[in-house]
Amino acid sequence: MRYVFNNEVSNYLEIYLHKLREEIRRIWLAKLSTIHIGYDNKYHGETVEIDIILNNIIYEHLDKSELKVTIISEDDSESQSVNIKDEVYLLIDPIDGTHNLLMGYPAYTTSIAVYKNDRYIMGWVYDIPRDIIYKASLGEGSYIQSIYTSKRIYTSPSFQLNDLRVSFHRAKNNQYTEVQNKIINEANKVRISSCSSLDICLIASGVLHAFLDLSFMGHERCVDIAAAKLILEESGGYIMTRDGNSYNILSPTDSLFFEKKAIIAVSSKSTGDTILELLRI
């Protein structure tokens, strides 16, 4: 395995989180890969047992590390310090796409964003079913990593709607239904995963061009996409709100688990301009 980051914190976590990936993979093989058998379709967004299991695995793994961090996790009632020092924070979503996992749809991730000195310096997103890591370090680019290799990734620009490969969080009888229908009818390809961190990483790696949240009030939380946001930015893309303004994530606190916003993630300015024009219909 070739590790790529030079930043001291990013380099350490790049190596250490690859070992975390091994532990998550063992749980996936032992339990998660067949957890959907007998699923009763009663999930409504609450924290479930597997969220807690993965959350505990992450804590236990990081507690053994030499790096001193404070962990803020979606599946904990309050933040916990793990050998706190140097104001390094990890914002963690143990599973983005819990419903997908429970029903056996292979689109869910573990997501970790690293914050230090008033900015996010590293993003790490583990695509659990495919055993693929997306990662970025501030100023050092974005990479896709398998168990054998790491490769630099870049976004793919697109200029017209009929060129776009798009994913979205669907509109439900609101003012964006017309936009949704136009995308379905005219875009090159439409893929819906219901896992925003994964969709954003797919934009970062050139697979998709855009992700739109077309829900009425906004569906995406900062904890869901903080790591993926840095990965996208380091590969050439960006995230904005539906009015075209920059989407910024504040310092990691428990409030990031609750506030929801409607976002648009795009591969380039040309793609962003196409989407904003589309939203004006």
Binding residues for Mg(2+): 74, 93, 95-96, 224
Any alpha helices (H) in 105-194, and if so which ranges?
177-186
Sign of CA dihedral 64, 250, 268, 8: negative
Q: 274 in helix, strand or coil?
A: helix
Could you tell me if 133 and 2 are in contact, meaning their C-beta atoms sit under 8 angstroms apart? no
Alpha-carbon span 189 to 192, nearest angstrom: 10
Q: 271 in helix, strand or coil?
A: helix
Per-residue tokens: 40: 């009763």
Sign of CA dihedral 7, 10, 13, 18: negative
Alpha-carbon span 181 to 278, nearest angstrom: 11
Residue position matching structure tokens 């900015």? 119
Tell me the backbone φ, ψ of residue 201, rounded to 5 degrees: -65, -35
Tell me the backbone φ, ψ of residue 27, rounded to 5 degrees: -65, -40
Binding-site annotation, residues:
74, 93, 95-96, 224
Per-residue tokens: 141: 């680019």
Q: 275 in helix, strand or coil?
A: helix
210 pairs with which residues across the strands?
166, 266
